[in-house]
Amino acid sequence: MSNPNPPSPLPLAEALAALAESALAAPAPAADFLDLVGPDARRFLNGYVTCDTKSLPAGRLTRGFLTALKGQVLADFDLLAFDDRLRLRLPEGASESIAAHLGKYLLADRVELVPQPGLERWTLRGPAAPALVAGAGWPPPAPGEHGSAPVEAATLRLARMERGGPPRFELWGEAAALAAGLERLRAGAPESWRVGSAEALEVARIEAGELAFGVDFGIDAFPQESGDDGAISFTKGCYLGQEVVARIHYRGGVQRIGRGLRFESGPPPVGTALLHDGREAGRLTSRALSPRCGPIGLALLHRRIGEPPVEIGVEGGGRATVVALPFA
């Protein structure tokens, strides 16, 4: 992406403090984007995802999962609804396989699957983020909504994500327009403009207990194992894999649960086995040395370990305390 000439990223502790106390801008993790264009897009997609897209009005956004026939996650997504299309933010590298998956079910549906390879995104988070957006001359969207953010001869999409914690916005657009948008944000409030790194966003994600697709759970997982229950509708009706997802919900839940881990010393490598009563209960999936919380991590752990706090063993020696999420 072309350089918007921000200051160098803040050191980690300062970046996390800015996120909690003022605002922080940073490049969001790389992603793919796929548009479903046509009058049947909402109805068609509704049959293959966990969230309700059939009645989603233009200007709204939602989160969801694409699921396989047996209920496992194929990908997570954020979705922006427009008058004539739906735009999916997918995991990096997933647009081709997801387009092929959905394309198998296109019959007489008036829908076209259109990849958007030129799009990138930045995130802007923190209590002062709405004021920064307004200072750039853009009306801040309400949570769960998106709007236009004009810059020069182009227009960015400005979305306010529905997540816990401080206000969270994302800017989606092509590289040159995105660079111009970031410069407009900086110029509107230079004294408040703070830039962080991917490392700062990763530590913040782990502290917040947000499990990431492709990192903490994958295509062998069920949607409920992600901990993102808000991305699953149990009233929308049928979709591919719905019977299994609903059965899990109404008959006792999943066997693995996302948990936080506090380590006695530096966090072990990702993939390290976590032991309970001498048996493997899961493996470490994310790790961080947090200025606020110390050495921490995330894992999908078997329910047999019981409710936190509970102490477990670490492969190779050492102990960890299992805690509820988010980290306090």
DSSP 288-321: EEETTTEEEEEEEEEGGG-SSSEEEEETTS-EEE
Q: Say if residue 3's pLDDT is above 50.
A: no
Task: Identify whether the C-beta of residue 26 lies closer than 8 Å to the C-beta of residue 200.
Answer: yes
DSSP state string for 62-120: EEEEEE-TTS-EEEEEEEEE-SSEEEEEEETT-HHHHHHHHHTT-SS---EEEE-TTEE
pLDDT of residue 265: 87
Q: Say if residue 2's pLDDT is above 80.
A: no
Q: Say if residue 61's pLDDT is above 90.
A: yes
pLDDT tens digits along 245-295 = 999 999 878 999 999 999 998 899 999 999 999 999 999 999 999 999 999
Q: What does the alpha-carbon distance between residue 59 and residue 83 come to, in Å, rounded to a whole number? A: 8
HSE (side-chain half, CA atoms, 13 Å) at 263: 23
**12-21 vs 198-208: helix crossing angle, rounded to 10:** 60
Q: What does the alpha-carbon distance between residue 115 and residue 98 come to, in Å, rounded to a whole number? A: 10
Give residue 125's pLDDT band: very low, low, confident or very high (50, 70, 90). Answer: very high
Q: Say if residue 44's pLDDT is above 60.
A: yes
Task: Identify whether the C-beta of residue 186 lies closer than 8 Å to the C-beta of residue 132.
Answer: no
Q: What does the alpha-carbon distance between residue 82 and residue 60 come to, in Å, rounded to a whole number? A: 8
Q: How many helices (H) and strands (E) does the chain have?
A: 7, 16
Q: What percent of the chain has pLDDT over 90?
A: 92
Task: Identify whether the C-beta of residue 324 lies closer than 8 Å to the C-beta of residue 260.
Answer: yes
pLDDT of residue 243: 96
Residue 149: exposure state from Cβ atoms within 10 A (0-12, 13-18, ≥19): buried
Q: What does the alpha-carbon distance between residue 233 and residue 170 come to, in Å, rounded to a whole number? A: 24
What would the 3-class secondary structure string for 167-191 be? CEEEEEEEHHHHHHHHHHHHHHCCC
Give residue 7's pLDDT band: very low, low, confident or very high (50, 70, 90). Answer: low
Q: What does the alpha-carbon distance between residue 14 and residue 9 come to, in Å, rounded to a whole number? A: 10
Give residue 222's pLDDT band: very low, low, confident or very high (50, 70, 90). Answer: very high
CA distances (Å), origin 183, targets 49, 132, 137, 138, 249: 37, 12, 12, 13, 46
pLDDT of residue 66: 98
Q: Say if residue 4's pLDDT is above 80.
A: no
Q: What does the alpha-carbon distance between residue 136 and residue 121 come to, in Å, rounded to a whole number? A: 17
DSSP state string for 30-63: PEEEEEEESTTHHHHHHTSBSS--TTPPTTBEEE
- Provide the residue count of the chain: 328
pLDDT of residue 6: 53
Q: What percent of the chain has pLDDT over 70?
A: 98
Q: Is 299 left (phi over 0), alpha (psi -120 to 50) or beta?
A: beta
Instruction: Round the average pLDDT of the chain to a whole number and report it.
Output: 95
Average pLDDT over residues 47-54: 97
Q: What does the alpha-carbon distance between residue 128 and residue 106 come to, in Å, rounded to a whole number? A: 44
Average pLDDT over residues 165-171: 95
CA distances (Å), origin 286, targets 64, 246, 298: 22, 28, 5
H or E element that contains 148: strand 145-151
pLDDT tens digits along 72-116 = 999 999 999 999 999 999 999 999 999 999 999 999 999 999 999
pLDDT of residue 14: 97
Tokens coding 299: 């894992």
